[in-house]
Amino acid sequence: MKLGQIGEFGLIARFKEKVFRPEKRVVVGIGDDAAAVRVSSKQLLLLTTDILVEGVHFDRRLQSFWQIGWRAMVANVSDIAAMGGLPSFALVSICLPQTISIEQAEEIYDGMQAVADEHHFQIVGGDTVSSPRDVVISIGLSGDVEEKSLVTRGGARTGDLICVTGELGGSQAGLAMLQLANSDQKSNFASLPQAEWSIVRDRHLRPQPRLKEARLLAQSGQVHAMIDVSDGLAGEVGHIAEQSCVGAEIYREKIPVGSQTQRVARHLGLSVLEFVLHGGEDFELIFTISPAKAAGVIEKVRQKTETPISIIGEVLPAGEGIVLVSPQGNREPLLTEGYRHF
Amino acid sequence: MKLGQIGEFGLIARFKEKVFRPEKRVVVGIGDDAAAVRVSSKQLLLLTTDILVEGVHFDRRLQSFWQIGWRAMVANVSDIAAMGGLPSFALVSICLPQTISIEQAEEIYDGMQAVADEHHFQIVGGDTVSSPRDVVISIGLSGDVEEKSLVTRGGARTGDLICVTGELGGSQAGLAMLQLANSDQKSNFASLPQAEWSIVRDRHLRPQPRLKEARLLAQSGQVHAMIDVSDGLAGEVGHIAEQSCVGAEIYREKIPVGSQTQRVARHLGLSVLEFVLHGGEDFELIFTISPAKAAGVIEKVRQKTETPISIIGEVLPAGEGIVLVSPQGNREPLLTEGYRHF
């Protein structure tokens, strides 16, 4: 075909079609918190999904159905946040065994809808089917992000500071307490002050996604890499290191842990470091930023959200590995395996 | 806040933000084959999802893992097709019990990927988790459609002809044969000519979405309502009637059924009408169109795709109900319940 047959605008249209082939539209594919695809010259569509299975990801003896729905939706919102975006539309699929009542099913939806209401997005569709045995919840969530605000796991640079929002380990401490309260050792549980117990419990049962903080960080234009903590600090730092082709050191005493989490860990005779490194599901944000810009950005986020941000480490060259540094300066390899599903 | 503080462009920006609030962007919400949301002045994003549970939606004794993956993806592509769109990006979540091998899991993905390759879209993310017992597959699929090509279930008009692509009942006949072949009555199965058997079997095991036909129908601008056949003709006509606030009559002898499907039904002593009305999963398209435009559009689709289209009924005023008309002119109510999940 010759140019004359289609003209200049025909050529542009063909070119555009070529450039905008599906493959070409994928800016971030499989392997980040969400995929990012181009919808216009400046705007990207984020797509993420999570599937939760009863007995693996949640336990209805420990959580209400509302809380199960809330938590499932928060996990997806947190993924969109970690890319620097805002959630827009959700698709919700649930498999329900015959033993679940309509009221219980509605509770799951209500918990999900509460997250949508709080963060101004909409559930636009889904699927509800029967299941022989277990409740399974699958959520697909889209989000919007300007291309210039997109933050991936892969942008960390040697010399960056590694930062984390809020506090870590609380969700795992809450889960440990819930399991204890539901076990034969209730007396041990009862001896813990109720105020501390309720704080860590809520960290597990009603987690909050760091959406506002993530947007401020992304829009600052200074954050090089970001991820949300769904599988524990060790695993998430590992993901950033792997995808950015860098190493990292984490200063053990700088990791922010709430006093309640510490007391609960002591009370249970469990390691608070274990909660933090491998516990997961805190939905805090880990990000890297150049040292010159860190103070200003951290202060801005604190002012606008009251959320503290801690500097917990530094990005190293790839050859240096990923290490945990003790207060005495001892260095040991930080295992970078998150929760293993298989 | 006063206008002077933000200026004219500030006001426009605020107004745009208001108009483009998530709720305002939803063109089609819950209750159609897919949701449709606005991404630009002329372009809509389609979002659909399906969740399939082992023992409810598929049976690994009857299907290979590749076929299970293929079928799951086709069901979603068919939903995008029924809205007049083209699939763009898929998210894939799978729950796998420990007893499934990596090779078997890969087969599921390969089946899904084969559909993506054939229809030029991309799998951009997903989630793979362990499951205590059953395989569960959840797919979220996005699509693109120009607003002027969008077709919903809700646009049918009194006097429209009701049309269907291809043939119905084949998938259900194939499933019935597969169940027989896997049962104690294999001798009955063996007596059926293999050529006929393989045709209906493939209708069940390797269904094709009517993507090309759907695009031609949507882009003709003449189709008022459309739906894909996932739950049997009766249920789908019921969905169109309900959402369009109309009635309908279906002429029994006009329903297209392949000769192989008829022979299999006879062989098994089962009702071919039952396969067609309540069997489902043929992934053909049902649409309504004004009588004046039907012949031209049907001929165009046939020319470009070789797919025949049959006129099987007419849209009636709402008060007339939904009826099946026998060759002798007897009218009986057409049950409009598709496959009931609960």
**Do the chains contact at B134 and A134, CB–CB below 8 Å?**
yes
Residue in B closest to A342 by C-alpha: B130
C-alpha to C-alpha distance for A220 and A223, rounded to whole angstroms: 7
Q: What is the pLDDT of residues B252-290, one digit of tens each?
A: 999 999 999 999 899 889 999 999 998 878 999 999 999
Residue from A59, A86, A95, A152 to probe the interface with B (highest B Cβ count within 10 Å): A95
Helix axes B259-268 and B194-205, enclosed angle (nearest 10)? 100
**Do the chains contact at B136 and A25, CB–CB below 8 Å?**
no
Of B258, B259, B224, which Cα lies nearest the Cα of B243?
B224
Question: What is this structure's pTM?
Answer: 0.87
pLDDT of residue A107: 93
**Is B61 in contact with B183 (CB distance < 8 Å)?**
no
Contacts of B91 in chain A (CB under 8 A): 35, 47-49, 140
List the helix and strand counts (H, then E) for chain B: 12, 13
pLDDT of residue B19: 43
For residue A238, name the pLDDT band (cuts at 50, 70, 90).
very high
- In the three-class reduction of DSSP (H, G, I as helix; E, B as strand; rest coil), residue B139 is classed as strand
Residue in A closest to B136 by C-alpha: A136
- As given in the structure block, the two tokens for residue B336 are 């409009």
Closest CA of chain A from B115, distance in Å: 14
C-alpha to C-alpha distance for B10 and B255, rounded to whole angstroms: 58
Residue B125 touches chain A, beta carbons under 8 Å? yes
Domain A161-333 top-level CATH class: alpha beta
Sequence-distant (6+) residues with CB within 8 A of A117 are none
**Is B85 in contact with B117 (CB distance < 8 Å)?**
no
**Do the chains contact at B138 and A51, CB–CB below 8 Å?**
yes
C-alpha to C-alpha distance for B138 and B99, rounded to whole angstroms: 19
Domain spanning A3-149, CATH architecture: 2-Layer Sandwich (3.30)
pLDDT of residue B183: 83
Rounded to whole angstroms, what are the CA distances from A164 to A201, A253, A304, B164, B303?
Answer: 21, 13, 16, 57, 61
Q: What is the full per-residue pLDDT of chain B (342 aa) written as tens digits?
A: 443 454 444 444 444 444 444 567 899 988 889 999 998 889 999 999 999 999 889 999 999 999 999 999 999 999 999 999 999 999 999 999 988 888 888 899 999 999 999 999 999 988 888 888 889 999 999 999 999 999 999 999 999 999 999 999 999 999 998 888 888 776 666 677 777 788 889 999 999 999 999 999 999 999 999 999 998 999 999 999 999 999 999 999 999 999 999 998 998 899 999 999 988 789 999 999 999 999 999 999 999 999 999 999 999 999 999 999 999 999 999 876 543 434
Backbone angles phi, psi at B10, to 5 degrees: -60, -40
C-alpha to C-alpha distance for A312 and B97, rounded to whole angstroms: 38
Does residue A205 surpass a pLDDT of 70? yes
**Do the chains contact at A125 and B93, CB–CB below 8 Å?**
no
Residue B116 touches chain A, beta carbons under 8 Å? no
**Is B36 in contact with B83 (CB distance < 8 Å)?**
yes
Q: Mean pLDDT, to the nearest integer, of A81-98? A: 94
C-alpha to C-alpha distance for A74 and A309, rounded to whole angstroms: 20
Residue in B closest to A44 by C-alpha: B39
H or E element: which one contains A216?
helix A211-219
**Do the chains contact at A131 and B94, CB–CB below 8 Å?**
no
Q: Are strands A322-325 and B35-38 parallel, antiparallel or unpaired?
A: unpaired
Q: Where are the domains of chain B?
A: 3-149, 161-333
For residue A66, name the pLDDT band (cuts at 50, 70, 90).
very high
Residue in B closest to A94 by C-alpha: B51
Distance, first Cα to last Cα, chain B: 53
Sequence-distant (6+) residues with CB within 8 A of B24 are B18, B38
List strands edge to edge, sheet with B223-228: B223-228, B285-289, B161-165, B309-316, B247-251, B322-325, B331-333
pLDDT of residue A146: 96
* Percent above pLDDT 70 for chain A: 90
- As given in the structure block, the two tokens for residue B53 are 């549970």
pLDDT of residue B11: 42
For A:25-54, CB contacts with B below 8 A are 25-26, 29-30, 34-35, 37, 39-40, 45, 47-54
Closest CA of chain A from B169, distance in Å: 23
CA dihedral over B266, B268, B273, B276, signed as positive or negative: negative
Strands, E, within chain B: which ranges? 26-28, 35-38, 43-53, 86-96, 122-130, 136-146, 161-165, 223-228, 247-251, 285-289, 309-316, 322-325, 331-333
Residue A36, sorted as left (phi over 0), alpha (psi -120 to 50) or beta, turns out to be: beta
Reported ipTM: 0.84
Residue from B21, B28, B95, B339 to probe the interface with A (highest A Cβ count within 10 Å): B95
pLDDT of residue B101: 86
**Is B143 in contact with B99 (CB distance < 8 Å)?**
no
Residue A121 touches chain B, beta carbons under 8 Å? yes
Q: What is the pLDDT of residues A10-30, one digit of tens each?
A: 444 444 444 444 567 899 988
Between residues B12 and A319, which one has the greater pLDDT?
A319
* Percent above pLDDT 90 for chain A: 68
Helix axes B194-205 and B170-181, enclosed angle (nearest 10)? 110
Residue from A18, A51, A88 to probe the interface with B (highest B Cβ count within 10 Å): A51
**Is A139 in contact with A166 (CB distance < 8 Å)?**
no
Rounded to whole angstroms, what are the CA distances from A93 to A35, B39, B55, B74, B210?
Answer: 20, 24, 17, 17, 24
**Do the chains contact at A49 and B132, CB–CB below 8 Å?**
no
Contacts of A124 in chain B (CB under 8 A): 26, 29-30, 35, 37, 47
Closest CA of chain A from B87, distance in Å: 9
For residue A188, name the pLDDT band (cuts at 50, 70, 90).
low
Q: Are strands A309-316 and A161-165 parallel, antiparallel or unpaired?
A: antiparallel
Q: What is the pLDDT of residues A173-183, one digit of tens each?
A: 999 988 888 88
C-alpha to C-alpha distance for B137 and B50, rounded to whole angstroms: 8
Residue B120 touches chain A, beta carbons under 8 Å? yes
H or E element: which one contains A164?
strand A161-165
Residue from B53, B76, B123, B152 to probe the interface with A (highest A Cβ count within 10 Å): B53
Closest CA of chain B from A127, distance in Å: 6
Does residue A6 surpass a pLDDT of 60? no
Q: Quote the mean pLDDT of chain B.
A: 89
Residue in B closest to A121 by C-alpha: B22
Of B227, B290, B233, B207, which Cα lies nearest the Cα of B84?
B227
Q: Mean pLDDT, to the nearest integer, of A28-54? A: 91
C-alpha to C-alpha distance for B323 and B337, rounded to whole angstroms: 13
Backbone angles phi, psi at B195, to 5 degrees: -65, -45
C-alpha to C-alpha distance for B212 and B117, rounded to whole angstroms: 15
Residue type, B196: E
Q: Are strands A86-96 and B223-228 parallel, antiparallel or unpaired?
A: unpaired
